[in-house]
Amino acid sequence: MELRHIRYFLAVAEELNFTRAARRIGIGQPPLSNQIRDLEEEIGASLFRRMPHGAELTQAGQVFLPEARAIVAKAEQAKALALRAARGELGRLRIGFTGSAAFSPIVPSSVRSFRRAYPEIDLTLEEAYTTRLLERLGAEELDAVFIRPGHADPPSFRSHTLAEEAMMIALPSGHPLAGAESLPLSALSGEPFVLFPRTAGPGLFDRIVAACRQAGFEPILGQVAPQITSIANLIAVELGVSVVPSAIAQIRVPGVTYIAIAGDGPVARLTLATRREERSAVVQNFIARVLAAKVELV
Amino acid sequence: MELRHIRYFLAVAEELNFTRAARRIGIGQPPLSNQIRDLEEEIGASLFRRMPHGAELTQAGQVFLPEARAIVAKAEQAKALALRAARGELGRLRIGFTGSAAFSPIVPSSVRSFRRAYPEIDLTLEEAYTTRLLERLGAEELDAVFIRPGHADPPSFRSHTLAEEAMMIALPSGHPLAGAESLPLSALSGEPFVLFPRTAGPGLFDRIVAACRQAGFEPILGQVAPQITSIANLIAVELGVSVVPSAIAQIRVPGVTYIAIAGDGPVARLTLATRREERSAVVQNFIARVLAAKVELV
DNA sequence: TTTGTTCATATCTTAAAGATATCACGCTGC
DNA sequence: GCAGCGTGATATCTTTAAGATATGAACAAA
């Protein structure tokens, strides 16, 4: 059985006349009769009662009619759905982001904008460290990740720089320096640093350490924060000081004071990474939305 | 697009390898590649990403996959449904019956038995006069009718005799003859008869009149009953007497007494009529059930 | 009866599905 | 680095089956 048989059946069922149905399809009457006969043989039942005046549906034909219509409609729909999926209007997008990226306005605003523009895309959001995100991106478990990149981008990924954020010093409010307007990074020499594990995000980690060295001291690594968002809480209980992207400084935790860095401070880059061989229209559309949001937010 | 394209797509989507899929289908790899290419061109999107190791589904392909499965399944189902309909297991049966037939045990019992045996047949039951039932049967608005036939069966119908019921005299309980064990029909001469209109069921009507004439008198036609079931009510208010099939005598209405007819009384035949050219398996199955019920009820 | 429908049958043509042979590409293993 | 294997694509030929054309049989209406 082929869709042709079903389409021909529908024509005859609607015209109740082989000759007219054949004309409507654009073939001759004998081949149409043949095709219907073949269909009936395959089903094992006759679908039409042939009369001198035309044809009428048998009970089998009457039952087959709505099914036939549904099949043809479903085939059309399948075609349309596949095309929409190819255009990136339909499908799935798995986004990853680091804890700190979530606080950069471009991340929530671009995700929101994409969601509105493509409501039929099944969105998944997942938070993890930069390292883990890149692993999952490479394993095709994620499609696009917002990360804090290192100096060298891995060649199998494509990176889009979204922001170069200044960083700020985070101090316990009771700290002697907490009242300052701004401080040079060197003011933190001798203070224990509360930082995330280097393996979680070597890019940002190394930038902070490098900036300290440039400022003339080696940072003392103290308490390790399991998540970048928990740094503030550890500082509040006076476990040390830190340097965080200014986006993170939005988290106003009682007992923590943020102070601008005077002079050349470290810069936290935020990028969107995708697989270099990525062809999917969904991801392309998402990249376009994110870059549009970047321009808007300037 | 043909079902062939969809079947081939499914094979490749399941094997993720053109060569193996082709082997599974039983054709060569080049024609399979051609068919998939044709399908992709028709849809307007590529469904597979060809790799040196095999193939993988694009987003469009992933969306198309469940649709393709559904289409193939629906086609199989449509075939099976049509076959079941041809076997008379599926479809519709429109049954008609006269008011008096409903009280003959064979009618409810055969309908019930058919309903149990073929639960997926959509049954319609309709009560009307014999004349109207035959009209509707001829117009293909009904498929099988239980009627009280005349002497000559119309040639376009096929009749199955189901029962030859004796008839009984129906009297108001206050009537002087109401106490008798049995009465000859001639006892009713001079009494006004409560009968249904002749046009409603000329067969039964004429039998009653003929029986009266044979008993030596011309029945006086009195009150006309709109339905055979309302004859009893009209007799109860003493509008006359009547002669009814003994099945009807089951309706015990206060104020009505039924008395057996002594000697040669009229006989009420009950038949099942269908169209002579009827081919439908549903109707054939129903006839078989009714005839089986007839044997059982003896 | 004749004429004009209907659909079925028979034969031929043609389009397209499929077979066969070959190629280019990329991975794997020596 | 290069041979060997497995992948899908391309090119050409064959065969199947869809469709065209001509005709026939059955029935209805004029």
Q: Which of B6, B59, B93 to mutate to test the interface with A (most CBs of A within 10 A)?
A: B59
Using the beta-carbon criterion (under 8 Å), do B63 and A47 form an inter-chain contact?
no
Of A114 and A229, more confident? A114
Supply the pLDDT for residue A152: 67
**pLDDT tens digits, B79-105:** 999 999 999 999 999 999 998 899 899
Supply the pLDDT for residue A153: 66
Query: What is the rounded distance in angstroms from the CA atom of residue B164 to the CA atom of residue B147?
Result: 12
* Strand C: positions under 7 A of a protein C-beta atom: 4-11, 17-21, 25-27
Domains of chain A, start order: 3-86 (1.10.10.10), 95-270 (3.40.190.290)
**pLDDT tens digits, B154-199:** 778 899 999 999 999 999 999 999 989 999 999 999 999 999 999 8
Using the beta-carbon criterion (under 8 Å), do A43 and B83 form an inter-chain contact?
yes
pLDDT for B264 beyond 90? no
Question: B3 and A1 in contact (C-beta within 8 Å)?
Answer: yes
| For chain B, the helix, strand and coil percentages under 3-state DSSP, each to the nearest 5 | 45, 25, 30
Structure tokens at B11: 């094979």
Question: A256 and A178 in contact (C-beta within 8 Å)?
Answer: no
Question: B162 and B271 in contact (C-beta within 8 Å)?
Answer: yes
Count CB neighbours of A292 within 10 A.
14
B29 CA from C23 C1′ (Å): 14
**pLDDT tens digits, A201-213:** 898 999 999 999 9
- CB contacts of A63 in chain B (<8 Å) are 81-82, 84-85, 90-91
The residues facing B54 across adjacent strands are B51
Residue B153 pLDDT level (bands cut at 50, 70, 90):
low
Query: What is the rounded distance in angstroms from the CA atom of residue A86 to the CA atom of residue B47?
Result: 9
pLDDT for A176 beyond 70? yes
Establish if A2 touches chain B: CB-CB under 8 angstroms. yes
Which one-letter amino acid corresponds to residue B55?
A
| CB proximity under 8 Å: B 134-173 to A | none
- CB contacts of B57 in chain A (<8 Å) are none
